[in-house]
């Protein structure tokens, strides 16, 4: 009677299978495992937070605080007691150090500082003539930060222009990597090694609003490219943040003129062309950061609490349910913003620069100027005959036409232009009338080869596989705005 | 499953830990092992195919397996796994997820097909030019069928009377009469036909060609899908897929859902300077939707759709399958280690909006995939083949450089387990290099792996590429083979790279990948793998290496020192001077043979090796010569590339016959 014995055994096993194999996961599902313990958090504590420029966010001072979940009852430790104000904490990839921007005295300049995560060993890394903010760590022992210049004389009450600088980890060899008038600000470094930055749209001098959009560029300042978002009123209030899957989070300001603090939390999913708000308009957030798998820590205005309106606290946010969870920290009298977990993080990929510092020019190859999205739009498809290069010189107010060059019948052109100079292109008809005019300013770094489809082209478009006619000409690249001093290229 | 790239250490132990089954599955498996004993007896009683117990099948293989093709038995019980590097067919019990049998086959098996009733398996042996015919009941090879050169893709016709084999090196398709075992026809295909599929109505065999049609180097590539009428056994259509290369496996959506074929492809932008790899579209990855002609004599319609997203590539689409109900299609991205799950209904909605007069409207859009790809599921390394169980509930994906099979629950769209095929335990530098070779994560936005431009494990892709040079658009050069290149340094057409480490190291990171690239240890591993790549057996060489009469005449011409009229040819203008047999027919120096053009900044080029030159058209540094003959008849007017102008047509043909034996 072996057969029945086997069947019996099978039945017993089946029972075990149902009990241990199926029932347990089902019960686990009803009672999901508790999130892992919170890591230590460093964040900014400020009496008030206000919208506007980087220098004016914390008008009554602020300090960095360390919250240790191991001692939840203990008040957060003040890491910067000797500073009038401190902000923008960024934790190193190995979680041993923190970069931050600090103002030692009231009215003093903001500089970039570094300290151990316990607040020890504070050292000043920069000596900016203006104010320095938003430092981040980069691979290969580099840092990047935003430099806000002092307003020009006679421009009291206005904000200075901002640019992004890269330096060695000790602050040495600081140099700009942005050259346009777009008031560039560092947001974060993406996993693929590109910098995510924000700038006024469309990188215009004297833009009429504070609306900002995202761009990416390499740590050497090459490869400026619009990040795939078409939300013209988007503004990263306190830093874009990339999640493990490539999603970029940011706070989308509702008011493009920036009269309100904070905004809605939004994200740009991998592959998406559009940003999408993920929190309700009733919740006003200041910043967000990845906390653990599926959760964020969000600095959000306190509601339904003893805290006064305009006071921000730290809350968990569940991405799967898209809802706020536990209160991680709330001081009813002070705002808590810009939280960053103190934990080891992935090191972004290294980008090997291919610039040539010895060259005072870069090259621009356009594959098809007919694909340009920038206006003015002209009916039909008039023949584009030439491209005119306009530069922004001096203090950013003087425009100068550098020259022009032919555009081939397939819309391609290949030119050589001065390096590190804000440039934009105008596409001309044979009679010289402007058919398209690029709105934004771009640049070519020393020895950079800037490639584009058109100007402000459709990000979702791949070009035709075609050998551009401009590259078949033996007299290209055609120098524009370069005198005889342009150095010849070595082979 | 996360990747591990620990330098020097075996990754298998970690991999195993990560692949550990959840307790529920383990207990389920335990139950099923027991139940198998019952099932085995029942199967025998019913006269169904049953398999011997595991026996020695659990022992690790001394070789890496490289599972490259899959086939399920009609009842879904047995998964047949073709192991390219082990010359073996594995049989996996899908209930226990254990390997239960290993069947030796020919050299470098690549393709598999099952007879309509499931009684016979056919496995193509690429390096034996044969097909192993295996009885599924006994798992014994009953016949070895001769086919053309380099067979890969296989299918039978609906009646199981004829077998179709795609011969990669022969550029043709063999039709085998299965009653006699003899080849009855050989049909011309495109360039490097690799995979085949029988249409669901049994009337057509579709053949995908890996390489583009030969064309001038400044033409964008066009690839061919060869369509064979199974009744007439004739090629009835050559469907062109413009702008693509590397057409891979073929899957058909059921007629009720559209009846079209899905064929993964690569969309290169080789004519645009490589600096554009900084964008996310220098190479794109997608699939051709081939809608068969609706009436006899009509033309098939092709819609090309990209599977990449903006700013994110899923490199090297390879395997394709459609679920039996036609609701989902799965396409593996072998360079991205994932499978894209396509909602066919959503795809159909998108296709319905494609204008009849503009089928190419989606070919250049990176915002299409988000409309129909519903999930990207991580797999093991290099997923190259995928099959779905007859009940449509489970997908199996072969991870070639992991020696594993990922099992996916199609109801939850989650990977539920990984079947370890028990390949070689230790992970060598060469193996790590192989894994790197196929992984696109080292390039900007994951656009390309080494294998993207060197498909079929190191072949050249037949395209000229506008690489970064002192001036953009200059020095467009033909992609080169990686097979048997260990001893032919220096590298590159201009001979600028002294060794493979230079070729694969920072230069690749900076100028090709435009990303971090490989570290020093990774470069060593990669070089180790590249140096191990071998040439396939040369079909032009007779038994024992003997030359036929024409080849012998060609050999004499190759080694001649006098022209037809008796003039002495200077030593350095003789064929064998620059192409000495002792060093792979290359002197390994840069010379000017008058082939540069006004768009080249270099006048001289490194003398190419001639090993297996027969399978590497087009020729010359820029791919201008589409045939060997054109090297002399079109591009050697001044006898700078050897003295050839005195040769007549017959002599040139003889010379070519000899060259093909190299």
CB within 8 Å of chain B, chain A residues 453-482 = 459-468, 470-472, 474, 476-477
- CA nearest A447 in B: which residue? B470
Three-state SS at B377: strand
- Domain shared by B66 and B157, yes or no: yes
Tokens of residue B570, six digits:
């200077």
Burial (Cβ within 10 Å: 0-12, 13-18, ≥19) of residue A153: exposed
pLDDT for res A377: 53
pLDDT confidence band for A324 (50 / 70 / 90)? very high
What pLDDT, in 10s, does the model give residues A100-124?
Answer: 999 999 989 999 999 999 999 999 9
% of chain B beyond a pLDDT of 90 = 84
User: Alpha-carbon Rg of chain A, whole angstroms?
Assistant: 27
The total number of residues written for chain B in this structure: 662
User: Alpha-carbon Rg of chain B, whole angstroms?
Assistant: 25
CA angle B356, B361, B365 (to 5 degrees): 155
Using CA atoms of A106, A108, A109, A111 in order, give the dihedral in degrees to the nearest 10: -70
Residue-wise DSSP of A94-141: TSSEEEEEEESSTTPPEEEEEEETTS-S-EE----SSEEEEEEEETTT
Check if the beta carbon of residue B224 is closer than 8 Å to that of residue B278.
Answer: no
Last residue of a domain, one of B508, B532, B556: B532
Range A361-479 classified under CATH 2.60.40.10: yes
Residue B322 lies in a domain: yes
What pLDDT, in 10s, does the model give residues A141-167?
Answer: 999 999 998 766 555 545 568 999 999
Residue-wise DSSP of A422-478: -EEEEEE-TT--EEEE--S-B---TT-EEEESSSS--TTBPPP----GGGT-TTPSE
Q: Which residues of B touch A491 (CB under 8 A)?
A: 470, 601
Most B CBs within 10 A among A460, A461, A474, hence the mutation to make, goes to A460
Structural domain harbouring B495: 433-532
- Domain shared by B402 and B272, yes or no: yes
Tokens of residue A9, six digits:
């055994």
- Domain shared by B469 and B563, yes or no: no
- Judged by CB atoms closer than 8 Å, whether chains meet at A460 and B468 is answered as no
- Judged by CB atoms closer than 8 Å, whether chains meet at A273 and B367 is answered as yes
Three-state SS at A52: coil
- Judged by CB atoms closer than 8 Å, whether chains meet at A13 and B31 is answered as yes
- Domain shared by B452 and B397, yes or no: no
Instruction: Measure A24 CA to nearest chain B CA, in Å.
Output: 9
Instruction: Measure B505 CA to nearest chain A CA, in Å.
Output: 12
What pLDDT, in 10s, does the model give residues A191-208?
Answer: 999 999 998 865 655 555
Q: Tally the domains of chain B.
A: 3
Which residue reads 């086939």 in tokens? Answer: B71
CB within 8 Å of chain B, chain A residues 235-274 = 246, 270-273
pLDDT for res A25: 33
Check if the beta carbon of residue B380 is closer than 8 Å to that of residue B399.
Answer: yes
Instruction: Answer whether residue A237 shows pLDDT above 60.
Output: no
| Torsion over CA: B638, B644, B647, B651 (sign) | negative
A28 touches chain B (CB under 8 A): no
Supply the angle between the helices B549-558 and B649-659 in degrees, to the nearest 10: 100
What pLDDT, in 10s, does the model give residues A343-396?
Answer: 999 999 999 999 999 999 999 999 999 887 665 555 567 899 999 999 998 766
Last residue of a domain, one of B532, B552, B572: B532
Window from A35-39, A91-95, B223-227 with minimum mean pLDDT: A35-39
Nearest to residue B64, comparing CAs of B13, B12, B2? B12
- Domain shared by B421 and B441, yes or no: no
- Domain shared by B166 and B311, yes or no: yes
Three-state SS at A199: strand
Buried b (16+ CB within 10 A) or exposed e, B415-443: bebbbbbbbbeebebbbbbbbbbbbbbbb
pLDDT for res A283: 87
- Closest partner CB to A462 (pick from B31, B220, B366): B366
Tell me the domain boundaries of chain A.
41-341, 361-479
- CA nearest A273 in B: which residue? B310
Q: Which residues have a Cβ under 8 Å from the Cβ of A227 and sit 6 or more positions away?
A: A196, A213, A214, A215, A216, A248, A268
Nearest to residue B322, comparing CAs of B355, B282, B289? B289
pLDDT for res A308: 66
> Can you tell me the distance from the alpha carbon of B136 to that of B122, in angstroms, rounded to the nearest whole number?
10
Q: Which residues of A touch B267 (CB under 8 A)?
A: 462, 465
A189 touches chain B (CB under 8 A): no
- Domain shared by B375 and B412, yes or no: yes
A228 touches chain B (CB under 8 A): yes
Distance from the Cα of residue B321 to its chain's centroid: 17
Q: Which helix (H) or strand (E) holds B489?
A: none
pLDDT confidence band for A456 (50 / 70 / 90)? low
- Judged by CB atoms closer than 8 Å, whether chains meet at B272 and A367 is answered as yes
> Can you tell me the distance from the alpha carbon of B507 to that of A129, in angstroms, rounded to the nearest whole number?
38
Q: Which residues of A touch B312 (CB under 8 A)?
A: 246, 270-271
Residue-wise DSSP of B122-164: EEEETTTTEEEEEETTTTEEEEEEE-SSSEEEEEE-TTSSEEE
- Judged by CB atoms closer than 8 Å, whether chains meet at A465 and B275 is answered as no
- Domain shared by B487 and B613, yes or no: no
- Judged by CB atoms closer than 8 Å, whether chains meet at B466 and A451 is answered as no
- CA nearest B218 in A: which residue? A467
HEC secondary structure over A347-376: CCCCCCCCCCCCCCEEEEEECCHHHCCCCC
> Can you tell me the distance from the alpha carbon of A314 to that of A286, in angstroms, rounded to the nearest whole number?
10
C-beta neighbour count of B79 within 10 angstroms: 25
Residue B440 lies in a domain: yes
Burial (Cβ within 10 Å: 0-12, 13-18, ≥19) of residue B361: middle
Which residue reads 């003899």 in tokens? Answer: B182
Last residue of a domain, one of B357, B390, B425: B425
pLDDT confidence band for A135 (50 / 70 / 90)? very high
B222-229 and B204-211 as β-strands: parallel, antiparallel, unpaired?
Answer: antiparallel
Residue B28 lies in a domain: no
> Can you tell me the distance from the alpha carbon of A433 to that of A141, in angstroms, rounded to the nearest whole number?
49
List, run by run, the mean pLDDT of 10-residue segments along chain B (662 residues).
34 33 39 40 38 51 93 98 98 97 98 97 98 98 98 98 98 98 98 98 97 96 98 97 98 97 97 87 96 86 96 96 98 98 98 94 94 97 98 98 98 98 95 98 94 96 87 91 96 94 90 92 97 95 92 97 96 96 96 95 95 95 96 95 96 97 96
Q: Mean pLDDT across the stretch A456-478?
A: 89
CB within 8 Å of chain B, chain A residues 411-440 = 414
A295-301 and A285-292 as β-strands: parallel, antiparallel, unpaired?
Answer: antiparallel
> Can you tell me the distance from the alpha carbon of A141 to that of A178, in angstroms, rounded to the nearest whole number?
20
- Domain shared by B393 and B495, yes or no: no
Q: Which residues of A touch B35 (CB under 8 A)?
A: 10
> Can you tell me the distance from the alpha carbon of B244 to that of B269, in angstroms, rounded to the nearest whole number?
9
Three-state SS at B513: helix
> Can you tell me the distance from the alpha carbon of B90 to that of B67, in angstroms, rounded to the nearest whole number?
9
C-beta neighbour count of A315 within 10 angstroms: 24
Residue B251 lies in a domain: yes
Tokens of residue A5, six digits:
């014995």
Backbone φ/ψ region at B464: left (φ over 0), alpha (ψ -120 to 50), beta: beta
pLDDT for res A253: 74
Beta-bridged to residue B205, according to DSSP, are: B198, B228
Confirm whether A41-341 and A361-479 share one CATH topology.
Answer: no
- Domain shared by B516 and B550, yes or no: no
CATH code for the domain in which residue B572 is found: 1.10.760.10
Check if the beta carbon of residue A212 is closer than 8 Å to that of residue A234.
Answer: yes
- Closest partner CB to A465 (pick from B270, B445, B516): B270
Q: Which residues of A touch B304 (CB under 8 A)?
A: none
> Can you tell me the distance from the alpha carbon of B266 to that of B283, in angstroms, rounded to the nearest whole number?
7
pTM as predicted: 0.88
Tokens of residue B197, six digits:
């599929």
Tokens of residue A412, six digits:
């391609």
- Closest partner CB to B472 (pick from A14, A363, A490): A363
Distance from the Cα of residue B99 to its chain's centroid: 25
Q: Which residues have a Cβ under 8 Å from the Cβ of A2 and sit 6 or more positions away?
A: none
- Judged by CB atoms closer than 8 Å, whether chains meet at B515 and A349 is answered as yes
- Closest partner CB to B27 (pick from A17, A223, A463): A17
Residue B470 lies in a domain: yes
- CA nearest A9 in B: which residue? B34
What homologous superfamily is domain A41-341 in, according to CATH? TolB, C-terminal domain (2.120.10.30)
Residue B30 lies in a domain: no
Residue B49 lies in a domain: no
Q: What is the ipTM of this complex?
A: 0.86
Q: Which helix (H) or strand (E) holds A92?
A: none
- Judged by CB atoms closer than 8 Å, whether chains meet at B306 and A462 is answered as yes
* Phi, psi values for residue A305, rounded to 5°: -140, 180
C-beta neighbour count of B564 within 10 angstroms: 13
pLDDT confidence band for A58 (50 / 70 / 90)? confident
Distance from the Cα of residue B115 to its chain's centroid: 24
Q: What is the CB-side half-sphere exposure of residue B599 using CA atoms within 13 A?
A: 20
- Judged by CB atoms closer than 8 Å, whether chains meet at B38 and A10 is answered as yes
pLDDT for res A72: 66
> Can you tell me the distance from the alpha carbon of B198 to that of B221, in angstroms, rounded to the nearest whole number?
26
- Judged by CB atoms closer than 8 Å, whether chains meet at A465 and B268 is answered as yes
Tokens of residue B361, six digits:
């409207």
> Can you tell me the distance from the alpha carbon of B317 to that of B376, in angstroms, rounded to the nearest whole number?
12
- Judged by CB atoms closer than 8 Å, whether chains meet at A467 and B509 is answered as no
- Closest partner CB to A365 (pick from B30, B221, B472): B472
Q: Which residues of A touch B444 (CB under 8 A)?
A: 192
Q: Which residues of A touch B340 (CB under 8 A)?
A: none
Instruction: Measure B512 CA to nearest chain A CA, in Å.
Output: 11
Nearest to residue B403, comparing CAs of B66, B109, B16? B66
Three-state SS at B263: strand
């Amino acid at each position: 009677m072996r057969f029945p014995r086997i069947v019996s055994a099978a039945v017993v096993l089946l029972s075990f299978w149902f009990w241990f194999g199926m029932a347990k996961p089902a019960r686990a599902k009803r009672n999901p495992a508790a999130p892992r313990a919170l890591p230590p958090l460093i964040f900014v504590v400020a009496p008030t937070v206000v919208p506007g420029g980087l220098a004016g966010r914390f008008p009554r001072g602020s300090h960095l605080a360390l919250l240790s979940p191991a001692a939840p009852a203990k008040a957060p430790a003040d890491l910067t007691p000797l500073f009038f104000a401190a902000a923008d904490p960024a934790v190193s990839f190995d979680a041993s150090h923190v970069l931050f921007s600090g103002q030692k005295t009231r009215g003093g300049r903001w500089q970039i500082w570094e300290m151990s995560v316990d607040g020890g060993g504070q050292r000043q890394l920069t000596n900016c003539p203006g104010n320095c903010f938003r430092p981040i760590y980069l691979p290969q022992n580099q840092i990047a930060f935003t430099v806000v210049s002092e307003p020009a004389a006679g421009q009291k009450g206005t904000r200075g222009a901002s640019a992004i600088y890269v330096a060695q980890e000790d602050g040495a060899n600081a140099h700009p990597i942005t050259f346009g008038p777009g008031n560039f600000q560092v947001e974060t470094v993406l996993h693929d090694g590109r910098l995510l930055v924000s700038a006024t749209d469309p990188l215009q001098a004297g833009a009429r609003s504070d609306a900002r959009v995202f761009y990416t560029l390499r740590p050497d300042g090459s490869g400026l490219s619009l990040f795939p978002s078409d939300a013209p009123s988007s503004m990263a209030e306190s830093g874009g943040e990339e999640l493990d899957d490539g999603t970029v989070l940011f706070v989308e300001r509702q008011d493009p003129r920036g009269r309100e603090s904070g905004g809605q939390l939004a994200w740009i999913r991998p592959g998406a062309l559009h940003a999408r708000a993920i929190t309700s308009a009733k919740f006003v957030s200041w910043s967000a950061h990845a906390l653990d798998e599926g959760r964020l820590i969000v600095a959000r205005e306190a509601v339904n609490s003893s805290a006064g309106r305009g006071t921000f606290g730290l809350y968990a946010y569940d991405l799967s349910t898209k809802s706020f969870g536990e209160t991680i920290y709330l001081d009813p009298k002070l705002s808590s913003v810009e939280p960053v977990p103190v934990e080891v993080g992935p090191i972004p990929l290294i980008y090997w620069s291919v610039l040539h510092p010895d060259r005072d020019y870069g090259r621009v190859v356009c594959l098809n100027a007919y694909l340009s999205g920038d206006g003015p739009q002209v009916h039909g498809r008039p023949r584009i005959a030439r491209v005119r290069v306009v530069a922004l010189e001096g203090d950013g107010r003087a425009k100068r036409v550098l020259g022009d060059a032919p555009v081939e019948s397939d819309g391609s052109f290949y030119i050589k232009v001065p390096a590190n100079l804000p440039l934009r292109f105008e596409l001309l008809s044979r009679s010289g009338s402007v058919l398209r005019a690029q709105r934004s300013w771009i640049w070519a770094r020393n020895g950079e080869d800037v490639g584009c489809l058109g100007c402000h082209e459709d990000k979702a478009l791949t070009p035709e596989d075609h050998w551009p006619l401009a590259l078949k000409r033996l007299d290209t690249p055609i120098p524009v705005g370069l005198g005889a001093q342009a150095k010849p290229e070595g082979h | 499953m996360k990747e591990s790239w620990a330098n020097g250490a075996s990754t298998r132990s970690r991999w195993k830990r990560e692949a550990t089954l959840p307790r529920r599955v383990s207990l389920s498996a335990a139950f099923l092992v027991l139940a198998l004993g019952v099932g085995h007896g029942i199967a025998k009683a019913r006269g169904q195919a049953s398999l011997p117990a595991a026996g020695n099948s659990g022992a690790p293989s001394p070789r890496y397996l490289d599972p490259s093709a899959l086939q399920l038995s009609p009842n879904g019980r047995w998964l047949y796994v073709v192991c390219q590097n082990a010359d073996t067919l594995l049989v996996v019990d899908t209930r226990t997820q254990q390997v239960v049998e290993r069947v030796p086959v020919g050299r470098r098996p690549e393709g598999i097909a099952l007879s309509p009733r499931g009684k016979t398996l056919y496995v193509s042996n690429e390096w034996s030019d044969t097909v192993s015919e295996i009885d599924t009941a006994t798992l014994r090879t009953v016949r070895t069928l001769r086919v053309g050169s380099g067979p890969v893709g296989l299918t039978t016709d609906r009646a199981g009377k004829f077998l179709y084999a795609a011969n990669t090196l022969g550029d043709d398709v063999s039709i085998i009469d299965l009653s006699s075992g003899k080849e009855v026809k050989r049909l011309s295909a495109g360039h490097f036909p690799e995979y085949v599929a029988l249409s669901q109505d049994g009337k057509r065999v579709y053949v995908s060609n890996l390489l583009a049609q030969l064309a001038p180097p400044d033409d964008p590539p066009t690839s061919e899908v060869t369509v064979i009428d199974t009744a007439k056994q004739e090629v009835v259509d050559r469907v062109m897929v413009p702008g693509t290369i590397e057409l891979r496996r073929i899957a058909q959506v059921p007629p009720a859902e559209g009846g079209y074929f899905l064929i993964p492809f690569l969309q290169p932008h080789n004519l645009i300077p490589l600096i554009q790899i900084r964008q996310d579209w220098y190479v794109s990855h997608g699939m051709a939707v081939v809608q068969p002609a609706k009436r006899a004599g009509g033309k098939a319609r092709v819609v090309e759709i990209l599977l990449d997203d903006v700013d994110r590539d899923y490199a090297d689409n390879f395997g394709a399958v459609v679920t039996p109900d036609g609701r989902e299609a799965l396409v593996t991205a072998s360079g991205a280690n994932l499978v894209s799950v396509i909602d066919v209904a959503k795809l159909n909605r998108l296709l319905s909006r494609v204008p009849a007069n503009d089928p190419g409207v989606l070919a250049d859009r990176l915002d299409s995939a988000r409309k129909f790809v519903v999930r990207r599921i991580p797999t093991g390394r290099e997923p190259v083949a995928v099959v779905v169980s007859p009940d449509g509930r489970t997908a199996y994906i072969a991870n070639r450089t992991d020696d594993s099979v990922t099992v996916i629950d199609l109801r939850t769209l989650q990977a539920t387990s990984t079947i370890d095929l028990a390949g070689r335990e230790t992970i060598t530098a060469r193996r790590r290099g192989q894994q790197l070779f196929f992984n696109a994560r080292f390039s900007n936005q994951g656009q390309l792996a080494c294998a993207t431009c060197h498909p079929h494990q190191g072949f050249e892709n037949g395209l000229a590429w506008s690489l970064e040079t002192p001036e953009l658009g200059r020095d467009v050069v033909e992609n080169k083979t990686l097979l048997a290149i260990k001893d032919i340094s220096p590298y590159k057409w201009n001979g600028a790279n002294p060794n493979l480490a230079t070729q694969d190291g920072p230069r690749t990171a900076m100028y090709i990948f435009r990303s971090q690239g490989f570290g020093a240890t990774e470069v060593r591993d990669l070089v180790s793998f590249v140096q191990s790549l071998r040439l396939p057996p040369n079909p032009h060489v007779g038994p024992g290496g003997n030359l036929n009469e024409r080849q012998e005449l060609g050999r004499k011409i190759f080694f001649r020192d006098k022209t037809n009229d008796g003039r002495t040819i200077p030593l350095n203008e003789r064929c064998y001077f620059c192409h000495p047999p002792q060093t792979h027919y290359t002197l390994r120096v840069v010379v000017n043979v008058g082939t540069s053009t006004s768009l080249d900044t270099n006048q001289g080029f490194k003398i190419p090796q001639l090993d297996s030159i027969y399978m590497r058209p087009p020729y010359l540094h820029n791919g201008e010569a589409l045939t060997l003959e054109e090297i002399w008849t079109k591009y050697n007017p001044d006898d700078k590339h050897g003295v050839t102008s005195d040769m007549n047509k017959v002599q040139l043909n003889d010379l070519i016959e000899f060259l093909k034996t190299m």
